[in-house]
C-alpha cells in the first residue's frame, strides 16, 4: 500500500515538478485524493515531509518498526512491549497549524492505519482483526491463550516482570471478548469500546482503568482467586505479542 510519506510518493512529486507540465498533478492520485485536488496543499505536504517535522514522523515509524521486529520468534528472548506504537494523536501533534491537517487526519482515520490513545475507542484495522480472530475462536469453542512480551517497559503503562501488573513473558488464558458503550468494561450496552477478558497467572492481581490519566490502577482482591480482568484492546495489543488457538 502506498503511503503519502513514502519515498516513492516524494519521487513522483519531484518528477512532476521537473517535467514539461509541472502543474499537472493528475499522476499524483493518492495525494490529490487525500487533499481533495488542492494542489497548494499537496505542495505544502511535500514540503512538510521533506522538512524537520517530516523527519520526526519518519523516526516514529523507525522506532515502531524496531518494536515490531521484536515480535519475530527469533527475537523472542528479548521481545519488548510495543511502547513506540504510533497513535493518531502522536501524528496530529506533528501536523499542528498545518493547512493540510484536517485532510490528512480524515484520510488516516478512514484507513484505520493507526489507533487512537487509550480510552478513545479508536482502533487500527490490525487491532480489530485481532479482536475478531479471538472472538471467532471463542465462539467456535476453541481455547485461546495470549503470550505477553518478555519485557514490558514503563512506557507501556506496565512494569517489567512484576506480579502486580501485566507480567512479562507469561501466558494468559483469554476467556471472552466484548464491546461496551462506555469506558466501563462491565457496561451491559454494546458499543465502540473493545475489551479482552484474561485470567492472570499471578492469581490475585487484576486491573482497573482510570481513563483520565490514561493508566490503570492495580488492585489486589483475595476473594478473586482466579484474577480475571478485562483489558482494553489497545492495551492488549500493546502488551501481548502472541496468540495461541487450539482445541481440547
> Per-residue confidence at 54, pLDDT binned at 50, 70, 90?
confident
> Per-residue confidence at 226, pLDDT binned at 50, 70, 90?
low
Last residue of a domain, one of 111, 135, 170: 111
Q: Which residue from 114, 237, 123, 136 is spatially nearest to 191, judged by alpha carbons?
A: 123
pLDDT per position as a tens digit, 128-145: 999 999 999 999 999 999
Mean pLDDT of the residues in the chain: 80
- Helical packing angle, 39-50 and 7-17, nearest 10°: 120
Residue 30 near residue 2, CB atoms below 8 Å: yes
| Whole-angstrom distance, CA of residue 42 vs CA of residue 31 | 6
Last residue of a domain, one of 111, 141, 160: 111
Give percent above pLDDT 90 in the chain: 46
DSSP state of 72: S
| Whole-angstrom distance, CA of residue 193 vs CA of residue 177 | 11
> What pLDDT is stored for residue 203 in this prediction?
59
> Per-residue confidence at 170, pLDDT binned at 50, 70, 90?
confident
Residue 146 reports pLDDT greater than 60: yes
When divided into structural domains, the chain yields a total of: 2
> What's this model's pTM, rounded to 2 decimal places?
0.77
Residue 36 reports pLDDT greater than 60: yes
Residue 47 near residue 75, CB atoms below 8 Å: no
12 and 65 inside one domain: yes
17 and 100 inside one domain: yes
User: Which sign, positive or negative, has the C-alpha torsion 213, 215, 221, 226?
Assistant: positive
- Which structural domain range is residue 43 located in? 7-111
Q: How many other CB atoms sit within 10 Å of the CB of residue 46?
A: 20
Does any domain span residue 170?
A: yes
Place of cell 492495580: 218
> Per-residue confidence at 228, pLDDT binned at 50, 70, 90?
confident
When pLDDT is averaged across residues 200-213 and rounded to a whole number, the result is: 61
Residue 122 reports pLDDT greater than 60: yes
70 and 138 inside one domain: no
| Whole-angstrom distance, CA of residue 153 vs CA of residue 155 | 5
- For the ranges 42-46, 56-60, 95-99, 190-194, which has the lowest average pLDDT? 56-60
Q: Kindly give, in sequence order, each residue whose CB lies less than 8 Å from that of residue 33, ignoring residues fewer than 6 positions away.
A: 107
Amino acid at each position: 500500500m502506498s503511503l503519502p510519506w513514502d519515498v516513492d510518493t516524494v519521487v513522483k512529486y519531484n518528477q512532476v515538478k521537473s517535467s514539461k507540465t509541472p502543474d499537472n498533478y493528475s499522476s499524483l492520485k493518492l495525494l490529490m485524493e487525500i487533499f481533495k485536488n488542492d494542489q497548494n496543499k499537496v505542495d505544502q505536504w511535500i514540503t512538510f515531509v521533506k522538512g524537520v517535522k517530516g523527519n520526526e514522523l519518519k523516526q516514529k515509524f523507525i522506532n515502531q518498526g524496531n518494536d515490531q521486529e521484536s515480535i519475530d520468534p527469533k527475537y523472542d528472548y528479548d521481545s519488548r512491549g510495543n511502547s513506540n506504537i504510533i497513535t493518531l494523536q502522536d501524528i496530529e501533534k506533528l501536523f499542528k497549524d498545518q493547512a493540510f491537517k484536517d485532510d490528512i487526519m480524515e484520510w488516516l482515520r478512514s484507513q484505520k492505519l493507526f489507533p487512537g490513545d487509550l480510552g478513545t475507542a479508536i482502533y487500527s484495522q490490525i487491532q480489530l482483526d485481532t479482536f475478531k480472530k479471538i472472538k471467532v475462536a471463542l465462539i467456535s469453542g476453541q481455547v485461546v491463550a495470549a503470550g505477553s512480551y518478555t519485557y514490558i517497559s514503563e512506557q507501556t503503562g506496565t512494569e517489567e516482570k512484576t506480579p502486580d501488573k501485566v507480567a512479562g513473558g507469561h501466558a494468559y488464558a483469554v476467556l471472552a471478548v466484548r464491546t461496551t458503550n462506555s469506558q466501563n468494561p462491565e457496561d451491559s450496552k454494546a458499543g465502540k469500546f473493545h475489551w479482552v477478558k484474561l485470567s492472570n497467572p499471578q492469581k490475585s492481581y487484576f486491573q482497573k482503568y482510570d481513563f483520565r490519566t490514561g493508566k490503570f490502577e492495580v488492585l489486589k482482591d483475595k476473594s478473586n482467586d482466579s484474577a480475571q480482568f478485562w483489558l482494553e484492546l489497545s492495551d492488549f495489543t500493546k502488551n501481548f505479542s502472541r496468540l495461541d488457538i487450539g482445541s481440547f
